Amino acid sequence: MTQQPGPATIQRDARLKALLLERLAGFQVQAHAGPAAQRAAVAVAVVDEGHGADLDGLPVLAQASRRAALLLTRRSAALRNHAGQWALPGGRIDGDETPEQAALRELAEEVGLVVDAGNVLGRLDDYATRSGFVITPVVVWAGSGAVLVPSADEVQSVHRIPVEEFLRTDAPMLEDVPGQAHPVLRMPVGHSWIAAPTAAVLYQFRELCLLGRATRVAHFEQPTFAWR
């Protein structure tokens, strides 16, 4: 894959935080209205880029950068669901937890990043997966993320992807699939790509939080490997 150019760098600063708060506060979230399913939440965690994404096609930095990034993981190959796939930190909502509580708990459990509830910025639309979950994405202002401790049981690797990487001119990648009403959505990163459901959340973050466009994503399909 040939990487396409993106915009100028976006710093994780007070101006960006205020912009995200404003855009999320003005967004009418669409909750899942279909049959009952297992509920889950993911943290769309805005952190410093640090020393880079540790990903082919994205640079390793000589010194830590304050450029805004999102935390993504590669799931452990030993997991029962979505083994080895790209993911945002997250998991099932337990008991009477809110999505916000679940997202913050999973962020701490999966990558060792503890964030106060006051740093939750808002939600994106629910996304129903082919594997039987309804995911609620929670946008979190997660500080510098200076020290991360990945869970050995759940996380294969952690990556700090600069937010402007999701603004590339070749994103999103849409693929029509025979027999499906809507295209599969992927988001390019470095020399590779991330598939829905994670890509759908990233695309809506891009559209709403970075570009100010209230774009819906729940209809996009997932590739068949993500159905399990």
Task: Tokens for 202, please give them.
Answer: 């990233």
> pLDDT tens digits, residue range 92-103?
999 999 999 999
Q: What is the pTM of this model?
A: 0.92
Q: Is residue 24 part of a domain?
A: yes
Q: What is the DSSP letter of 97?
A: -
Could you tell me if residue 118 is left (phi over 0), alpha (psi between -120 and 50 degrees) or otherwise beta? alpha
Structure-model confidence comparison of residues 51 and 1, the more confident one: 51
At 72, which CATH number? 3.90.79.10
Cα separation, 59 vs 156, in Å, equals 20
pLDDT at 146: 87
Region 148-163: mean pLDDT is 92
Determine the pLDDT at residue 130. Answer: 87
Rg (CA), the chain: 16
| pLDDT at position 179 | 84
Structural domain that includes position 133: 14-167
**Long-range pairs of 3-9 with CB within 8 A, sequence gap ≥ 24:** 3/57, 3/168, 3/170, 3/188, 3/190, 3/191, 4/168, 4/169, 4/170, 4/188, 5/168, 5/169, 6/164, 6/165, 6/167, 6/168, 6/169, 7/164, 7/167, 8/164, 9/67, 9/162, 9/164
Instruction: Give a yes or no: residue 176 inside a domain.
Output: no
Q: Is position 205 within any domain?
A: no
Number of structural domains found in the chain = 1
pLDDT tens, position by position, 38-78? 999 999 999 999 999 999 899 889 889 999 999 999 876 55
| In a domain? residue 199 | no
User: 68 near 4, Cβ under 8 Å?
Assistant: no
**Bigger pLDDT: 29 or 227?**
29
Confirm whether 223 is domain-assigned: no
What is the pLDDT of the chain when averaged over all its residues? 91
Distance (Å, whole) CA 49 – CA 65: 5
Domain assignment of residue 204, yes or no? no
Tell me whether residue 9 is in a domain.
no
55 within domain boundaries: yes
